[in-house]
DNA sequence: CTCTTATTGCAATTCAGTCTTAATAGGAAT
DNA sequence: ATTCCTATTAAGACTGAATTGCAATAAGAG
């Protein structure tokens, strides 16, 4: 009983091969809770017995993005932070500059106003990146 | 007649030395129009006869930011984009993913809603970074 | 099973940004 | 003006995320 998962469908559609590494990568990525970097992902994959090289992860990231499996979440320093995309609705982020805490938010009014701005400048909006940076309640008390 | 400029005041206040490099950096930075990267800044400084090393620029950037001379504008790929801060009011950016065109916008309603979101999560908002990415009118026609 | 070629792992490379260090120069004290 | 302390500089080595070249491997069509 082969699992016909979303990623395999995408690979088939794109005439790409279904390799052991890609299957394990798909499984491993979907097991991630919350936000993660490529390096932490590689480590966790190794811990799960999936020995996939860092390069293979990087090379397959564009596919995972395109297939809607992961999403580029935001950037912390020089690193790109990812998160699982499948099923999870769009949202933006609120970061604590002291402890690094990450909160997620969606504001339909902001979303709509962004569309208005794009229309005003005659841009066809593709995506946006919106981060609020501040100090969380806990950090403010110290 | 020594020019008592904003940066020199900041340096004095912070017990930092006024060097030839810092003066030239201040002049050079304020001469920049629009958005720029550290490397283009270094090149332009060199062209203006100011031979300031890349390292000195990087070492003084935190001071220029703190003094309110420059502002971290946004990130394009791996590079950080800067722009002159003095006198220029806050705004966010709209980028064309095809040609790299940059537009600036401010939406008071979005600004206010951001404060609401921060309040809701009990964050004290420090700053935010908001970029809209899309395709500009010109690029859509090709 | 055979053969073509996409995919992999490894090592080398890029690139923005940082760090080390020896030499230089700001500027306070004399 | 001269001395002296130390902040600051330039050059080059270094870092860490991400990319690329290449030889070996394996997917999967025939
Ligand atoms: Mn998220
Ligand atoms: Mn701007
Ligand atoms: Zn915090
Ligand atoms: Zn364009």
The dihedral region occupied by B35, where left means phi > 0, alpha psi between -120 and 50, and beta the remainder, is beta
Global model pTM greater than 0.85: yes
Domain boundaries, chain A: 3-84, 92-141
CATH class of this structure's domain A3-84: mainly alpha
Average pLDDT over residues B89-116: 97
Query: Tens of pLDDT along B30-45?
Result: 999 999 999 999 999 9
- How far away is chain B from the Cα of A100, in angstroms, using its nearest Cα? 12
Residue A2 pLDDT > 70, yes or no? Answer: no
* Residue in B with minimal Cα distance to A130: B130
- Which tokens in the block code for residue A111? 């979303």
Distance from residue A2's CA to nucleotide C9's C1', rounded to whole Å: 27
Residues of A in contact with B103 (CB under 8 A): 121, 123
Query: Rounded to the nearest whole angstrom, what is the distance from the C-alpha of residue A131 to the centroid of ligand 3?
Result: 15
Say which DSSP state B34 is in.
S
Between β-strands B92-96 and B124-135, what pairing exists: parallel, antiparallel or unpaired?
parallel
Token readout for B81 is: 């984009």
Q: Tell me which of A79, A104, A121 to substitute to probe the interface with B (most B C-beta atoms closer than 10 Å).
A: A121
Q: Report yes or no: B35 and B81 within 8 Å, Cβ to Cβ.
A: yes
Q: What is the pLDDT of residues A93-142, one digit of tens each?
A: 999 999 999 999 999 999 999 999 999 999 999 999 999 999 999 999 98
Q: Does the structure show a pLDDT above 90 at A19?
A: yes
The CATH architecture of the domain made up of A92-141 is: 2-Layer Sandwich (3.30)
Burial of B21 (0-12, 13-18, 19+ CB in 10 A): middle
Three-state secondary-structure class, residue A63:
helix
Contact B125 A134 (CB under 8 A): yes
Query: B131, A136: Cβ pair inside 8 Å?
Result: no
Asked if residues A71 and A19 have their Cβ atoms less than 8 Å apart, the reply is: no
Dihedrals phi, psi of A57, to nearest 5 degrees = -60, -50
Cβ contact (<8 Å) for A131 and B133?
Answer: no
Q: Check for a shared fold between A3-84 and A92-141.
A: no
Q: What is the residue whose two structure tokens read 């994959």? A: A45
What torsion, rounded to 10 degrees, do the Cα atoms B64, B66, B72, B77 define? 80
Answer yes or no: is pLDDT of B109 > 70: yes
């Amino acid at each position: 009983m082969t699992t016909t998962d979303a990623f395999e469908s995408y690979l088939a559609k794109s005439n790409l091969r279904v390799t052991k590494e890609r299957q394990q990568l798909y499984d491993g990525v979907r097991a991630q809770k919350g936000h993660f970097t490529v390096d932490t992902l590689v480590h966790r994959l190794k811990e799960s017995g999936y020995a996939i090289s860092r390069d293979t992860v990087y090379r397959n990231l564009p596919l995972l993005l395109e297939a809607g499996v992961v999403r580029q979440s935001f950037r912390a320093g020089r690193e790109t932070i990812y998160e699982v995309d499948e099923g999870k609705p769009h949202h933006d982020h609120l970061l604590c500059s002291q402890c690094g805490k990450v909160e997620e938010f969606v504001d339909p009014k902001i979303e709509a106003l962004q569309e208005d701005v794009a229309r005003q400048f005659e841009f066809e909006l593709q995506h946006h990146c919106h981060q609020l940076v501040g100090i969380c309640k806990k950090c403010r008390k110290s």
